[in-house]
Structure 1
Amino acid sequence: MKLFLITKVVPFLLQLFVRFIYFTSKKEFHHPKINDKESFIVAFWHGELLMQPFNYQKLKPSGRVSAMISEHKDGEAITKTVEYLGIGSIRGSSTRGGAKALIGALKELKNNNDIAITPDGPKGPRHSVADGIVAISKKSNARILIFNCKANKYWQFNSWDKFIVPKPFGKLEFFIQEPLDISSLDVQEAKELIREKMLVNAMK
């Protein structure tokens, strides 16, 4: 019964609530011009992930994106919720199933799809950048699109990622920066640059 609630009932109710927030909010999009045929690595902070499916759909209405989600059982509810919102999933993270996730991500990019990753997930520290996003970008030659979402009214959890839940009837600002190419940088330089760019429009 508990598994049914986690994998079916909770995700269905959660995606309805997320849609309600989105449709009752004023929205402003700050997006670059991109080539719809190019495959990208989409990056956003773990604490800002809730509204990012809408950010992606606005940028690429007919695009396909799969999010890298932890193989931990807690990831199951997230997986089902984002599926309702049109986002596929690649199970695995830096702490669980990393090699499988890397292979899955490279396969998606090779098939001209996009992937999404939270560089500070699944356990933080908050606003840190793990090696995974750099490895995927260098192996695939895919550029990185940095996503942020700012809410003027929100609840903030007392969790490691300070998870943000926008309140209904507020304002949402969606940001996507120009595609980032890290091919000429070493791993540490790339991580520092990604973090710097991701913090420009981040929620505090």
Structure 2
Amino acid sequence: MKKRIKTFISLTVMPFILHLIVRFIYLTNKKVFHHAKINPKEPIIVAFWHGELLMQPFNYQKLRPNSLIKAIISQHKDGEAITRTVEYLGIGSIRGSSSKGGAKALISTIKELKAKNDIAITPDGPRGPRFSVADGIVAIANKANARIVIFNCKPSKYWQMKSWDKFIVPKPFGTLEFFIQEPLDISGLENEEAKALIKEKMLINAVI
């Protein structure tokens, strides 16, 4: 019985409360958007650092308010709670990561892109190291012939966790600067060269 209650709280109650907190933070901040022009008909791979993910659903919704996006979320035990939280924020999910369920997630993301839907990925997640770029994003971009669009969010005031990704939680009543770069085409690049370019572009507006 206790286990059922604990599961109910972690998978039902907490995601609902967390999404309300995230919305409160967003609504109480001033927003500034620096968005490049993106072809609305082009399916894209959205990339952002794991530590900056909290406000990215709003960044995407500002860019494409009526579009469908699915994020690659780890099959780790915390993944289900994250999945349910982001669903409240209008984000679907594809379960898997480089360490578990990677092949299945790769196939699913390619199918989504071929269906003209967007997908989101944190190249340094789910375990880091921070600001690293795993092979997955390069493989997806090449196999789906899709371009990468880099998202960043810079809050003027924030708490920073002591986790591996130095997770950022913006404070209320500040300013959120949202960045979206022009689509990045990595076709024709070697794997390591593509990863280096992605990292370079993602660090331009990152919170270091």
Task: Tell me the TM-score range normalised by the shorter chain.
Answer: over 0.9
- AA partner of residue 80 (structure 1): R
CA contact (8 A) 1:6 1:76 kept: no
Query: What's the TM-score once normalised by structure 1's chain length?
Result: 0.99
Q: Which residue does the alignment assign to 2:156?
A: 152
Q: Which residue does the alignment assign to 1:62?
A: 66
Show structure 2 runs of 5+ residues with no match.
none
Query: 1:72 Cα shift?
Result: 1.0
Measured against aligned partners, the alpha-carbon deviations of 1:85-137 in whole angstroms (never above 9, x if no partner) come to: 00000000001100010011011101100000000000000000000000000
Matched positions, count: 204
Q: Which residue does the alignment assign to 1:113?
A: 117
Verify: 1:18 aligned to 2:57, yes or no.
no
Q: Which residue does the alignment assign to 1:142?
A: 146
Verify: 1:182 aligned to 2:183, yes or no.
no
Q: Which residue does the alignment assign to 1:163?
A: 167
Query: 1:64 Cα shift?
Result: 0.6
> 80, 91, 96: which is aligned to 1:92?
96
Q: Which residue does the alignment assign to 1:36?
A: 40
Measured against aligned partners, the alpha-carbon deviations of 1:33-73 in whole angstroms (never above 9, x if no partner) come to: 11111000000000000000000000001111000000111
Report the identity percentage: 74
| CA–CA distance in structure 2, aligned partners of residues 151 and 15 of structure 1 | 18
- Runs of 4 or more above 3 Å deviation: none
Q: Which residue does the alignment assign to 2:195?
A: 191
- AA partner of residue 202 (structure 2): M
Q: Secondary structure at the match of 1:102?
A: helix
Verify: 1:128 aligned to 2:129, yes or no.
no
CA contact (8 A) 1:156 1:165 kept: yes
CA contact (8 A) 1:47 1:162 kept: yes
Show structure 1 runs of 5+ residues with no match.
none
| CA–CA distance in structure 2, aligned partners of residues 167 and 31 of structure 1 | 23
| CA–CA distance in structure 2, aligned partners of residues 191 and 176 of structure 1 | 18
Q: Which residue does the alignment assign to 2:207?
A: 203
| CA–CA distance in structure 2, aligned partners of residues 11 and 127 of structure 1 | 26
